Amino acid sequence: MKSIAVASVLSLALIGCGSETVSELSQDTATRVLNAALSSEPAEIIQLIQQQPEYANNIQCIAYHLDERGWDNESFDYFMKVTFNTGNFKRASREDLATANMMKLVMSMEDCS
């Protein structure tokens, strides 16, 4: 039985944002978020998902939208702080998620779903 996290990651497929160059910081953020969403899955499932082109397309899409919204070191540091360096949204409080920095990430993820 697939978890909601796996279903969500797979459903985000096929929306790549072209061959736009994205910043390493935005790409790292997107990778951390997707990996955190998969973290409760068995290693074989995670590996299978990460091998799919849709996984890379989704990272590219989120990173592109983060760059468009001005994602910067301050935003990334705040994101890591409120998720206790895990990249897992479940670790952040509702108040933390409602801040301007976190809304950049939330909106970027929504743009790619």
Q: Considering its fold, how many domains does the chain have in total?
A: 1
| Amino acid at site 69 | R
Counting Cβ atoms within 10 Å, is residue 8 exposed (0-12), middle (13-18) or buried (19+)?
middle
Query: Are 74 and 101 in contact, with CB atoms under 8 Å apart?
Result: yes
Domain presence at residue 14: no
What confidence tier does 113 reach under pLDDT thresholds 50, 70, 90? confident
The per-residue b/e assignment along 81-94, b for 16 or more CB within 10 angstroms, e otherwise, is ebbeeebbbeebee
Please tell me what DSSP assigns to residue 69.
Answer: T
The set of residues, in sequence order, having a beta carbon less than 8 Å from that of 23 and lying 6+ positions away, is 63, 66, 67, 71
Domain presence at residue 2: no
What domain range is 92 assigned to?
Answer: 23-111
pLDDT 10s digits, 36-66? 989 889 999 999 999 999 999 999 999 999 9
